[in-house]
Amino acid sequence: MKTKAPVTKNERLDVTIADLTYQGMGVAKVDDFPLFIENALPGEELTIQVTKVQSHYGFARAVTWKTESPDRVKDVDKTYRQTGIAPLQHLAYPAQLTFKQHQIAELFSKAHVEVEVAPTLGMANPTQYRNKAQVPVRKVKGQLETGFYRQHSHDLIPLTDFYIQDPAIDAAIVKVRDLLRQFEIPAYDEISDKGVLRTIMVRRGYYSHEMMIVLVSRTQKIPSQAQLVDQIHKALPEVTSIVLNVNAKKTNVIMGNVTRTLYGKPTIEDSLLGLTFAISARSFYQVNPQQTEKLYQMAIDKAGLTGEETVIDAYCGIGTISLALAKHAKQVYGVDVVPEAIEDAKVNAQKNHLSNVTFEVAKAESQMAKWQEDGIKPDVVVVDPPRKGLAESLIDSTAKMGPKKVVYVSCNPATLVRDVVRFQELGYDIDGAIQPVDQFPQTPHVESVTVLVKK
């Protein structure tokens, strides 16, 4: 029998917010039926209007507040919520850190896993931290604009200050936008699949201040390309690399497979934990360098290396963790599925004069199985997977290799919990507290480091 929801669309109700979801929305319950409300904080009493009703939950919007949370931040710019740039900006920063710690603890408790979660490591300045921006270029009211999409839509909201990005990057985007207007470069139109410029991507080294501008184009060449490139590097003295990326497909994927250097070199350099890294247009590099150093240092400390160990780094990217580990280990093996990332990783090993590292291009799960067959016996395995977490086969191969320790760097608590349960079934236990690190202030995302030891 289908139970009827206790609320109807457009109904107005008085509620008290009980909790925040992992996406940072307020939750109110009406007869155990959850309603999700944007911009509402735990403890607040408010009048809401129901906007959508599903069979097991609904959505509502806040109409008026009767009481406000002491953790509410006043005078926030609602644009950052509308675009999803800073969905937690209305929550005071200390409360954001507690929310992230609670999020991890809650998920483990639901899975009946006993664990201690340490307080989240935060930032002194939880804004202006991103070292990379990807902003769409569109025509709005007859003029080429850069900005961000309104959430759940493709309406571009023009923006010049992105709040969580390095201000030098924001300024560079405005300069490039003005030059695109000056040279009358047509913005991409996704409905007709016409036009030229789709996206501007900017990367800037936190320590080096080298800047890369990537122009993502629908066409093989941009009109007035030589003059445009010349003007960009004259206007922006920090620019050491200008790259054209061609994406001719009708797709939401930002970058295409063809990348050409138009000025300077194909990479920029930056340093992390005292090592130098070359970063190319399409390689993965953590976007919050200050917190990444804390995160990786934590992973290295928890690995407890003495210089005698063999270590595997699954999902090694351009070698950031691998090379940091190599300074403290006997031999490190790294694997990543992106060929350009492995090319960068090999260059980075040479740059840092580290010869005790081997990098392979492969899916982490198949390479782990191969290493296991080759009889490689790691003492420590470090994993830093994407949001979807670890493949079951990778967990199985790891357990068969029998490392004393697995250091799990996670960007998604839900898949972390699932994977930890799997490791426990195969004879591993959590050692010490889980350490959350706030890599993405003003958003609900949380990274963490968990250590698993062989029973």
Report the domain count for the chain.
3
Would you say residue 406 lies in a domain?
A: yes
Q: Which of 235, 267, 299 is the last residue of a domain?
A: 267
CATH of the domain at 50: 2.40.50.140
Would you say residue 112 lies in a domain?
A: no
Give the H or E element holding residue 202. Answer: strand 197-204
Q: Tell me, what amino acid is at 147?
A: G
Share above pLDDT 70 across residues of the chain, in percent, rounded to a whole number: 99
Domain identity same for 325 and 446: yes
- Catalytic residue flag (residue 316): no
Catalytic: which of 159, 311, 411, 446? Answer: 411
- 399: which 2 tokens? 């357990």
Domain identity same for 240 and 314: no
Domain identity same for 365 and 419: yes
Residue 82 is predicted with a pLDDT of 84
- Give me the chain's average pLDDT, please: 95
Q: Which domain holds residue 226?
A: 132-267
Would you say residue 31 lies in a domain?
A: yes
Domain identity same for 310 and 445: yes
Domain identity same for 203 and 296: no
| C-beta of residue 15 within 8 angstroms of C-beta of residue 26 | no
What is the rounded CA–CA span in Å between residue 213 and residue 403? 42
* Dihedral sign (CA 76, 82, 88, 90): positive
Domain identity same for 211 and 353: no
Domain identity same for 301 and 440: yes
What is the rounded CA–CA span in Å between residue 37 and residue 33? 13
Domain identity same for 263 and 296: no
Q: Which of 267, 300, 331 is the last residue of a domain?
A: 267
Would you say residue 95 lies in a domain?
A: no
**Mean pLDDT in residue range 83-106:** 94
Domain identity same for 410 and 323: yes
Q: Which of 70, 93, 120 is the last residue of a domain?
A: 70
CATH of the domain at 366: 3.40.50.150
Would you say residue 93 lies in a domain?
A: no
33-52 confidence digits (pLDDT tens): 999 999 999 999 999 999 99
- Burial readout 181-196 (b: 16 or more C-beta within 10 A, e: otherwise): eeeebbbbeeeeeebb
Q: For 232-309, where are the E strands, in sequence order?
A: 239-246, 258-264, 267-272, 275-280
CATH of the domain at 189: 2.40.50.1070
pLDDT of 407 over the 90 cut: yes
Domain identity same for 310 and 444: yes
Domain identity same for 442 and 326: yes
Domain identity same for 204 and 293: no
Partners of 447 in the β-ladder: 437
415-429 confidence digits (pLDDT tens): 999 999 999 999 999
Which of these, 154, 134, 156, lies nearest to 145 by C-alpha position?
156
pLDDT of 284 over the 90 cut: no
**Mean pLDDT in residue range 334-349:** 92
Furthest C-alpha separation in the chain? 70
**Mean pLDDT in residue range 97-119:** 97
201-242 confidence digits (pLDDT tens): 999 999 999 999 999 999 999 999 999 999 999 999 999 999
pLDDT of 84 over the 90 cut: no
